[in-house]
Amino acid sequence: MRMLHTMLRVGNLEKSLAFYTDVLGMKLLRRRDFETGRFTLAFVGYGEEETHTVLELTHNWDESSYDLGNAYGHIAVGVEDAYQACEQIKAKGGKVVREAGPMKGGQTVIAFVEDPDGYKIELIQQDQDARV
């Protein structure tokens, strides 16, 4: 067994695709409209679905926003340099909500960014133990 994907509901698919591809550097792997169900699925990731866990962005055509609730945590992405990644994300218009630095009570360098729908993405610097 292996993890296949994580699904996020997004209010504006084009804005979300721009964030995940242009700002975070993922690839659009596939996209499909479901006319009778009035929704679109778009899969993005850093590698092909056969070998990598990816994100499924679900856009329900009749919804423009969602209540994220308080149970959702974040998606984690490994980066070589969290400080540089934050600068690159900001330069591309992304929102950094926690600048890079050591996590509380530890030494692992982390940062948090936010996608257009308010989902948090944790950046974990990979030159250290990333199993936080």
Residue 55 and residue 10 share a domain: yes
Residue 117 and residue 80 share a domain: yes
pLDDT, position 74: 94
Structural domain includes residue 70: no
| Closest to 31 (Cα-Cα) out of 56, 62, 63 | 56
* Mean pLDDT confidence for 86-115: 96
**Catalytic: which of 35, 50, 114, 122?**
122
Confidence band of 132 (pLDDT split at 50, 70, 90): low
Q: Is 63 a catalytic residue?
A: no
Please give the model's pTM, rounded to 2 decimal places: 0.86
Kindly state the tokens that stand for 87: 């600068």
Structural domain includes residue 28: yes
- Residue 109's domain comprises 75-125
Structural domain includes residue 66: no
- C-beta atoms surrounding 8 within 10 Å: 19
Kindly state the tokens that stand for 19: 């964030």
| Closest to 109 (Cα-Cα) out of 88, 120, 124, 90 | 124
Residue 13: enclosing H or E segment and its boundaries?
helix 13-18
**CATH number of the CATH domain containing 109:** 3.10.180.10
